[in-house]
Structure 1
């Protein structure tokens, strides 16, 4: 009974942390969130995305072809609460809380130790990494929850065959939540099949149904490979074949022709070059700064001055990791390490490693390590120290735990909305309001492309009729830095030319429009008072 109450408390805490000021912090929608929201609104109204594609299996968006699941999940909140920040982030917050429950159940299934399961749920509930993405409309968070559930049902299916088809369904859905599972899921299936081969033979019919369900989900993905997945992979891949091939040939020619070094032909072989890039990207995800100090480069991925894990996770995770290494012959340990090794697989193939979004599948594995490490450390201390010393060490570590958590919450709610506001394209909501005031007074409204994809914020905040937009402006060929609809024109500002225009509202950045410009309407500032937008009437 006590354990159930503690688990219920963890669930309530996870809901509170994920829903408190959900629409207001992070301080603004970013372009991806606005795109997910508007496309959900478009599907709600017309059953088509912004380009007029009927119930698409990939959302074209900014030509990055997003997997569609998050957009479809957002349709219901938008229909109930309207098109706003809260509605767009609601699916992520709900499934973030579900992930905490699923992590508890998965750890119970793997380790059969309720205390470790409860600690894992608590640590995931409070995780800087998971909390950040549970409050953002990021597809990776949905995919993480689905994969945790899929592995849970897979393990349960080895005992009760009815769960295996459900596992296949969850794995299949994850393919439409985010791009990374399209590589991670096959690797997981192969690994799990090897680990549990002897038990799978006893459930062969259910396992075949599991594979058939998974294959049915994969078929549309294969069909889309020529545009969606390949376009996305090309845009983020660290492996540029042309660039690497040119570099490889140049190095081989230098070694062979100038130095007479035949070995260089082997060492600079493009296959080895590609392998080195992938391995380097993989190992980047164990970077100390990334995990514990600063997080990765994009400010949207972490709180200000906060790594992806807590400081107290470091010793605990190492202890837990070593404890599981000692039990590597057990299938539960093998499963945990399989999940851990596969987690950064997709991310390691991309540029900009380490990458918190693409490597989110490390969760809840670090939390499992930390939970096991904490209990193992307490057991070790109790057997070697007096009760007084043990309690003293426990109090010190508990204070470190509390300080870490309050530091995160302070950084997240106080400093992040100020320091990371530019990362969230802050200011567009205010810009749209001002533009609406002058819309009927000017012939054109020109909006800078400096902050990328400005058009989507005007579609979102003005709730532009999707059918009208599809029929008039949802063109198939649109340049990245040039969009138009109605009176709005989205492009780079050339002030020397644009200042000569008449009857035009120009919305630019502070670096594009001088502060002393005549007929300046307003400056839109970031929360730290630095200028974001400058609006001028010509």
Structure 2
């Protein structure tokens, strides 16, 4: 991803030679938002760790500030301050920020859009929502639904009567039109088409076998069996199970999605102590603020709709759910007795310290291969080698063909010339696929 930013900065083209694309071919059709957003950081830091993570770091700071304004607008300044603090220590946000995932930038943009809507800044809202759609694919589904929920929260008819809001709808339709065009180009949705449960051939075979077994064993009349045992009902159950798993305590509080890239702390995405806070917060919301309760619960229920098609829990695709849970915890902390707050914040601190130790002193050694550590080591050795000696790097080293141009800061023009060609020759370094 960082090399695409570097290539666009230097040549106006991505590393495949396409001029200012809206969807980048690398990464199975990567939306353009994070790539273009990272260009200022790449210009300053080069194609480096800070070049790729700088935008995510700034997004994290922005999320902290936005949570304050969101909590203040919906509840009170005190809730906003607590929400801001919880965002600053959020395990989920720490994981996303450190790795420089584009979905973290998408979360920032979407949250900015939500806050803009609530403060009736409709034109900025449209711009932020539109940019978010071009930053992470699943937001194409969740943002329209979230916008509808916000309109109902603020008064549907009253919102539609606002002229600026109608202008913002036009802006969003422009973004939607471009997004649909990219979809029909067959690139931006390639990963979804490959990974969703509806196209999983192994699952299809399993479903058919199970349906045949059920029809053979069932004592129902033969005319009734196809109405009870069929693929639409079988897939409905699978999708529902996937949906529920993305809201399960196992994913949210205990183990996360078990992907070391998304969850190096090897805990859930939220703090354990936030589980009782959710129940306390829901109690106070039912008691004091049913309108806010409906919006927050709707927000939570919307997010997994995009993830349930992928067949597994996923920390990146579900990250838009984070602000809603932070709001519940913040409102809960505002309303409980002060003596309990001290205990609860202590629990936050204990788990945070444990997770930070895991992230910095354990995970790098255990999960280095997930971040192509071997490619980094090999690239650095090749860079520091005698320039008069030919060095051959094999693609048996995971991602070496992508890592070496980044670490060596190869001129993008040279990379573009050799796109799709083997071997790739960069001075005395040759990358071979044999």
- Unaligned 5+ runs, structure 2: none
Output the TM-score relative to the length of structure 2.
Answer: 0.91
Q: Which residue of 2 aligns with 1:341?
A: 301
Secondary structure of the residue aligned to 1:488 is strand
Task: Mark the CA change 1:145 to 1:408 in structure 2 (over 3 Å): closer, same or farther.
Answer: same
1:140 is matched with 103
Contact 1:143 1:174 survives alignment (8 Å) = yes
Once the two structures are superposed, what CA deviation does each residue of 1:81-111 show, in whole Å capped at 9, x if it has no partner? 2221111100000011101101111111112
Q: Match for residue 110 of structure 1?
A: 74
Q: Deviations over 1:477-516 (max 9, x none)?
A: x8xxxx6311534447xxxxxxxxxxxxxxxxxxxxxxxx
Change (3 A) 1:254 1:314: closer
Mapped to 2, the partners of 1:241 and 1:425 lie a distance apart of 27
1:319–1:78 CA distance, 2 compared to 1 (3 A): same
Aligned equivalents of 2:263, 2:350: Cα separation in 1: 18
Aligned residues: 426
2:269 aligned residue (308, 311, 325): 308
User: What is the deviation of 1:438?
Assistant: 5.7
Distance 1:170 1:358 in 2: 18
Partner of 1:434: 381
Hey, which of these two has a bigger chunk of helix by percent?
A: 2
Question: Is 1:273–2:234 an aligned residue pair?
Answer: yes
Report if the CA contact (8 A) 1:164-1:207 is conserved: yes
Q: Secondary structure at the match of 1:283?
A: helix
Measured at CA, do residues 434 and 174 of structure 1 come closer, stay the same or move farther in structure 2, by a change above 3 Å? same
Cα distance in structure 1, aligned partners of 2:146 and 2:313: 21
Aligned-partner Cα distance in 1 for 2:202–2:286: 40
Tell me the CA shift for residue 186 of structure 1. 1.7
Query: Aligned pair 1:236/2:195, yes or no?
Result: yes
Moved over 6 A (4+): none
Q: Given that residues 93 and 134 in structure 1 are in contact (C-alpha distance below 8 angstroms), is that contact kept between their aligned partners in structure 2?
A: yes
Map residues 111-260 of structure 1 onto 2, 5 A cutoff.
111=75, 113-157=76-120, 163-195=121-153, 196-203=155-162, 205-226=163-184, 227-240=186-199, 246-256=205-215, 259=218
- Deviation, structure 1 residue 118: 0.6
| Aligned partner of residue 31 in structure 2, secondary structure | coil
8 Å contact kept, 1:149–1:170: yes
Q: Which residue pairs with 1:488 in the alignment?
A: 430
CA distance in structure 2 between the partners assigned to 1:178 and 1:415 by the alignment: 30
Q: Compared with structure 1, are the counterparts of its residues 247 and 416 closer, same or farther at alpha carbon in structure 2 (3 Å cutoff)?
A: closer
The alpha-carbon distance between structure 1 residues 325 and 280, as it changes in their structure 2 partners (threshold 3 A), is farther
Offset, 1:190 = 2.7
Deviation of the 1:253 alpha carbon: 4.2
The equivalent position to 1:415 in structure 2, one of 356, 362, 381, is: 362
State the alpha-carbon separation in 2 of the partners of residues 84 and 241 from structure 1.
37
SS in 1 for 2:66: helix
2:203 and 2:254 mapped to 1: Cα distance?
Answer: 32
* Structure 1: 5+ residue stretches without partners: 1-35, 158-162, 379-389, 493-538
CA contact under 8 A between 1:239 and 1:277: conserved in structure 2? no
Query: Separation in 2 of the partners of 1:143 and 1:440?
Result: 45
CA distance in 2, matches of 1:251, 1:136: 41
Q: TM-score, normalised by structure 1?
A: 0.74
Change (3 A) 1:119 1:98: same
Which residue matches 2:249? 288
Q: Which position in structure 2 is the counterpart of 1:55?
A: 20
Change (3 A) 1:117 1:52: same
Partner Cα distance (2:112, 2:92) in 1: 19
1:260 Cα shift? 5.7
CA radius of gyration, larger in = 1
